[in-house]
Chain A
């Protein structure tokens, strides 16, 4: 059943590739104006300077330090960690080390999460139905489920806040630091760190799984109550712990596989012109794959949940119907 859900998930993602592309376009559209702002900052700082030559043709760390020394806002986030696979590691390290995103970007990330919350209703609805719902169906579902999913997102935010505000410091500032403060061997310290990452990561994943299934049950069963969906999700996860974990592990393996490939092919330092666009395209392909995997988590979990229902495509809510214009209704009559 797990493998069937996993492969079924991919079928659902592929069948709704337009939705995936739309989500990718969302990240692109949100990031593009900010990239343009950074471009303006760099252009202004370089001006007509000859310094632009090594910066354009490769990399000049000398210039880089000069730029960041004066940069504020977005410019302050322009560090070597943006290059290639370092970018991926930096993002992961931020999560497990509870390093909050740069202040200049906080509002963007909050907005992005908000848009995800809005879109997730339409996404799950589309995956559950396994047939095109078109844009009107997607937005109709998203709008109909918005407040319910918003309440669920608020509950998720509260739980994540507790994890990062209290559990993470307890694990890493109290337990980990206490355990390792007398260690004179870095390797052992790193192993302890990994152990605590696993602990914290497990907590994050459990919460993530529970809220994923809550979201799925809320949509599929057309539940009005976010709390009810959460409790139903807990019951579902409790009854199928191995299968739920197995599916999640299978999905996580796909994610790790993608990271491994990206680690090998991620472009490093390159010049302007064709190389620049090639590197950008490679980056976008990787991001597209990341989004596909993220969507596959939802799709496969939806498939797995529905496999436990009477009908594999069951959704409680009717297919949203686009209302005809009054004139068309008059003709029909």
Chain B
């Protein structure tokens, strides 16, 4: 019945409804949340001995673009681990530290991955099936890499016009890679992401089907998924969607049937070792959500932390942006060394935890909240991550840091020693402004690239700072510039307008301007189109005796970075009085002079810390009563003890 429902939605040739008299690229169907133009019916069987998936799928695809196409394009992402010259592995070698490169180079033959399509048959809306298996070819639209097989194309026997549809039947064998990044197997744990042949996105300008890159991987159309996964009996399964049926087969396997409406992807996991628990998220103004946790046995005792973090995220994101649209969510606690932690799929995500997880350190919470955030920005607002990675990863980094701060989670620094297996928690609180927004990792790569460069073209090593960190910093800056109530309305409007669709950066900027009532082009020019850094500083502060018992105070401030942002300059005098100047921040230097009855005590540029992108906060203030000597003395003595201990430890060898 569920398959029939899916067919009912996707089989017709009705074009997507028009908006404003123009064909809307991805407008939802009237009876559905999304356009549902790429729906999948998949049957797959896991062979845990051969580490293989054997599957067949039927894709019902409708052309919702304004373009006619005479070919189809598919992602075959497990081919990234088919040979060492795939684009993914080339990029990985450029970005990874030597130890990781060694590890990847040591991948054994039985640990490679592959996706081999053995049958591809296309059935036009009105016509007979045509076997196109022989005409399949690999293309490399991003870099022309002939060794990359992550995108496949076939020429259609007849073009598909806007509004037209086809049925595509595919049979394939997937060789599951060993503990590859974000997918694969280790021991008895499987995380299956990017596992099925997935059709690309046809836009008005043509196909948008990127190769698999190291830092980007998602862009797909919405649809209805019916997936039947056969695994050995005793293996627990977690997947996007909701489990509809479980059948124990005579051959010692079990088939788990899942169904998901209005999702743009499907991920799943299976292992016999999972501990399974369920709890309900109930809230007085938000819809209830069934939370299902698949926990590693060694993390027994961390159930409450996983559920509490998920519930916290559902609550805050639901209140800020809009309710979570699905009734259930699966939390997967990935196996150690699986390299699948911190992954998002619709209605399913992986967390990150350790056997030793100090209570004062916000892990697994940080990762869980981030991944739940992706249900909004990636899952529902389905941006093109290949080109605009900041729109899901960056926004989610900003939002999840805000949740951790608002929920007042314990969030202390820890050092991990002994090959990172042993944590030592320190009594050092981590702030949202710097650690949450990731200033430390942004700072060294601040000028690496302009954010508007397509994400997959970033230098691999600097992609994360520009995608995640810079966005979190400028979104937080925008939040403080506009005020949270306005920012919240911006995000809620953006989510509401673009849910189950594919917005572009300009769409977000337009919502910001509309809701805030401000033209913020200047801001986006700096943070999105530019690659300059922000750095404002106090250059000088002097108070000298003037006439009649008054003092002449001179304040000099300067702009050290190339980027500009309006900032306040606040001078505080010894009698407690203050003067606030609003500087638009464009000049290199500005001088303020005051004649007051008392001397100046201090001056601060941007005292409210609105500009979170300022790479050097230390130089933003100056006081006439400096305490640097005390601070430096204290920390240098602490360091001295460390150094002496290092010497005495080295003395073991003497």
Complex contact A272–B654 (CB within 8 A): no
B639 touching A65 by the CB < 8 A rule?
A: no
Whether B618 contacts A97 by the Cβ 8 Å rule is: no
Q: In the complex, what residues of B have CB within 8 A of residue A287's CB?
A: 641, 644-645, 648
- Contacting residues, chain A, for B545 (C-beta < 8 A): none
Min CB distance A94 to B, Å, is: 7
Let me know if B417 and A93 touch, CB within 8 A: yes
Asked if B49 CB lies within 8 Å of chain A CBs, one says no
Q: Count of A residues near B, CB < 8 Å?
A: 97
Contact of A120 with B by CB under 8 A: yes
Known contacts A49-B621, A51-B617, A182 near B650 by CB under 8 Å: no
Residues of A within 8 A of B428 (CB): 59, 61, 80, 83, 269
How far in angstroms is the closest Cβ of chain A from B49? 15
Cβ contact of B188, chosen from A184, A186, A190, cutoff 8 A: A184
Give 1 or 0 for each of B195-212: 1 = CB within 8 Å of chain A CB: 000000000000000000
Is A50 among interface residues, defined by CB-CB distance under 8 A? yes
Best-buried of B422, B433, B618, B620 by chain A (most CB within 10 Å): B618
The CA-CA distance from A153 to B336 in the complex, in Å, is 42
| A232 in contact (CB, < 8 A) | no
Least CB distance from A29 to B in Å reads 10
Any chain A CB within 8 A of the CB of B616? yes
Q: Are B628 and A294 in contact (CB under 8 A)?
A: no
CB pair B418–A96 under 8 Å, yes or no, is yes
> Which A residues between 80 and 131 are near B, CB-CB below 8 angstroms?
80-97, 101, 105, 108-109, 112-113, 116-117, 120
CB distance from A242 to the nearest CB of B (A): 23
Question: Are A294 and B187 in contact (CB-based, < 8 A)?
Answer: no
Partner pick for A185 among B335, B616, B632, CB 8 A cutoff: B335
Residues of A contacting B96 with CB < 8 Å? none
Asked if A43 and B632 make an inter-chain contact with CB atoms under 8 angstroms apart, the answer reads yes
**How close is A46's CB to chain B, nearest CB, in angstroms?**
4
A154 within 8 Å of B (CB atoms): no
- Which of B296, B433, B616, B653 has most A Cβ within 10 Å? B653
Taking CB as reference atom, which chain B residue is nearest A197? B418
Verify B648–A283 contact, CB threshold 8 A: no
Give Cα distance in the complex from A164 to B404, angstroms: 43
Q: At the interface, yes or no: A230 with Cβ under 8 Å from chain B?
A: no
A276: B residues at CB distance < 8 A: 633-634, 637
Across the interface, which residues of B come within 8 angstroms of A160, CB to CB?
Answer: 653
A230 to chain B, nearest CB (A): 16
Provide the bound-state CA to CA distance between A204 and B629, in Å: 42
Cβ-closest chain A residue relative to B425: A86
Within 8 A of B (CB), among A254-282: 268-273, 276, 279-280
Q: Which residues of B contact A117 (CB under 8 A)?
A: 654
CB distance A89 to B621 under 8 Å?
Answer: no
Q: Contact between A46 and B646 (Cβ–Cβ < 8 Å)? A: no
Q: Known contacts A35-B637, A153-B654: does B627 contact A56 (CB below 8 Å)?
A: yes
Quick check: B645 and A66 within 8 Å, CB to CB? Answer: no
In whole Å, how far is B39's beta carbon from the nearest beta carbon of chain A?
34
B4 within 8 A of A: no
Q: Which of A46, A79, A187, A190 contacts B632 (CB 8 A)?
A: A46
Return 20 A-B CB contacts under 8 Å, by A number: A27-B644, A27-B648, A38-B639, A50-B622, A55-B631, A79-B415, A83-B638, A84-B426, A87-B642, A87-B645, A89-B417, A93-B417, A94-B649, A96-B418, A185-B298, A187-B298, A190-B421, A283-B641, A284-B641, A294-B648
6 nearest A-B pairs in the assembled complex, by CB-CB distance: A116-B654, A184-B335, A184-B187, A283-B641, A39-B636, A46-B628
Q: Give chain B's interface residues, CB within 8 Å of chain A.
A: 178, 186-189, 273, 296-298, 335-338, 354-355, 413, 415, 417-419, 421-422, 424, 426-431, 433-435, 439-440, 443-444, 541, 602, 604, 616-624, 626-654
